[in-house]
Amino acid sequence: MDVSTLEVRTEPDGTVVIRPRGVVGEADVVHLQQVLVRTVRKVRPSRLVLDLTDVFRLDPIAAGTMSAVCGLGDDHGVAVFVHNPSEHIADQLSTAGVPVQRLRRTAAMA
């Protein structure tokens, strides 16, 4: 996953939004994990949003990584939410351990 397929931005309220695009495959997991862990442990925003609006496929290890970052966020006082996963990806994330209350459908973010 290179810079063009992973957007990271900070909203005016301090929420960090991480928005991968396309297929999050096996080769992308390490980079995604590094970005997520660094954001939770070093940046420590009050909210971290993983916007999956443009993700079409998610590697099972990436799903596990997203589940783990929810727990890491709890440990560091960062509320982690997953926005706009497809139905299939939402099922995959739930199976991986992402709490259903963290999965949200929102208006597409520009």
What are the tens digits of pLDDT across the range 46-95? Answer: 999 999 999 999 999 999 999 999 999 999 999 999 999 999 999 999 99
Task: Return the pLDDT at 5.
Answer: 82
Higher pLDDT, 2 or 45: 45
Using CA atoms, how far apart are residues 65 and 97, in angstroms rounded to an integer?
A: 10
Task: Return the pLDDT at 18.
Answer: 97
User: Distance of CA 72 to CAs 2, 68, 81, 109, Å?
Assistant: 24, 6, 12, 25
Question: Phi and psi at residue 82, in whole multiples of 5°?
Answer: -115, 115
Whole-model pTM over 0.75: yes
